[in-house]
Amino acid sequence: MKKNTVILIIFLILAIGLLGYNYYFEPFKQAAIEQDISQGEKVEEAVDLDLTAVEVIFGRLNDQAVIGQLISWPVVLENNQLDNNNLTQQEYLDYLVEKSPGFFTLFGSEISTQSAKMTIDQLVNHSNSVLLPWFSVDHEGGTVQRLSGDGFTRLASWNSICKLDKQQTERALGKSALELKEVGIDIVLAPMVDVGSVKSSLKTRICSSNPDVVVEKANSFIKVFQENDILPVLKHFPGIGKIEVDLHKQFAIGRVGIEDVFVYRSLLDLYPEVGVMTSHIGLDNQFAEIPCSLSKDCVGELIDNYQSTLVFTDALEMKSAFYQPESTQGANIKELTLGDVSKKAVMAGNDVLIYGPSVRIEQLSDVYDMLIREYNSDNKFKQKVDQSVKKIISYKLGVPVEHEVKYPAIKQN
């Protein structure tokens, strides 16, 4: 009997027990299940098998693998060759097997289809995790498109795409989405939904100063990539379209406008199960000297309203993420480490921690060690991590999107 068949039988047995429990103790939930069945749903889809699947998979992860699921490991391709962090290729792959990151982010310029597919296949084949890693890439178009070498369609800037009609937009994006899916990409860190003008620091990465246009074009982007089973990540929450400085280099304080709220509400009401990237901007109408990405108030406002949204940080090595209030300058306050920032990001409510191409293996090793220590010593931190990892497992199993269990994401031995 095949392994997946055995697992499914176990889930069904557990589900039957769950039905009995619901009948006596959760009648409202039972009524909803009966209604689903009466509408022609399969019994195994109507019952909350998803919760059982998530718990079973979660229970098979050790502490290292649990922390690993939070991490999006930066994979740098230079001249279409893997940068092995001064290790031999086998040493580097063995190290990744040990760390079991849940995600990889591809970095490089003009990466070709051959190089992207070979790298992704290599990393998948060397994974020993019960859950296969997911692969993400910046894919806005214009100056921010890593996969733009031989075999990939080079997209115009997001600002230019936003000036096309709907049919032209979806044709260009559709071809690109298909190319990404064919090489194994699971996540695109796009679209940009920051409202502003090309006069901002983001320049042609901005779609429009008109929030209606931003929603319309982002809607097309999300639709096209979701149809190709690729998860879009809206960025940069709560909106940095008016910022005039580069957050990679310095901290900035802004204000969330009604147009920013309109964009996120419009899109997340339609697509609550997409990704959202939090920015390292301070908000003058909240806690101005705390980056949003590290603020429980800022990130909390997002997840309180859209609990099924998968929340990604912007790159955590950015200078703006390390900002500390001016009131602490000169005081005996230690400088933040990448591990400190990573912990703060988890406690704020982020699910996936992203690191840029300049972060080296030694730094990430220190981050892992610190997060594992916190996981084993701080119960509040452990609860936050467990909550995020179960959400990640749900996404990988396909539960939030289609409300059914899928097994292709599970590593086959």
Residue ranges per domain, the chain?
Answer: 62-389
Q: What is the pLDDT of residues 213-246, one digit of tens each?
A: 999 999 999 999 999 999 999 999 999 998 888 8
Cβ of 345: how many Cβ atoms within 10 Å?
Answer: 28
N-term to C-term CA, the chain: 14
% of the chain with per-residue pLDDT over 90: 70
Beta bridge partners of 241: none
- Please state the pTM of the whole predicted model: 0.84
Whether residue 228 contacts residue 186, with contact meaning beta carbons closer than 8 Å, is answered with: no
DSSP string, 171-198: HHHHHHHHHHHHHT--EE---B-----T
Please write the tens of the pLDDT for every residue from 136-164: 999 999 999 999 999 999 999 999 999 99
Do the beta carbons of residue 188 and residue 180 sit within 8 Å? yes
Residue 204, pLDDT above cutoff 70: yes
CA distance 116 to 137: 11
Question: Within 255-295, where are the H helices?
Answer: 258-270
Q: What is the DSSP-derived secondary structure letter of residue 322?
A: G
AA identity, residue 133: P
Nearest alpha-carbon partner for 351 in 321, 320, 318, 396: 396
Please give the Cα distance from 22 to 28 (Å, whole number).
Answer: 8
In DSSP notation, 289-305 reads TS-GGG-HHHHHHHHHH
The CA distance from 35 to 375, in Å, is 41
Residue 131 has pLDDT above 60, yes or no: yes
Nearest-angstrom CA–CA distance, 347 and 161: 37
Helix axes 361-377, 89-99, angle to 10 degrees: 20
Whether 210 has a pLDDT exceeding 70, the answer reads: yes
Nearest C-alpha neighbor of 316 from the set 295, 344, 286, 338: 338
Region 65-80: mean pLDDT is: 95
19 has pLDDT over 50: no
Q: Within 39-88, where are the H helices?
A: 43-46, 49-59, 63-70
> Which one-letter DSSP state was computed for residue 131?
B
Extended beta strands in 284-348, E state: 310-313
Nearest Cα residue to 320 out of 356, 351, 346, 285: 356
For residue range 28-50, what is the model confidence (pLDDT) as tens digits? 233 333 333 333 333 234 334 44
Mean pLDDT of 90-101: 91
Please state, in angstroms and rounded to a whole number, the distance separating the CA atoms of residues 308 and 56. 20
| CATH code of domain 62-389 | 3.20.20.300
- For the chain, what is the mean pLDDT? 85
Distances (CA, A) of 159 to 140, 149, 196, 246: 10, 21, 11, 18
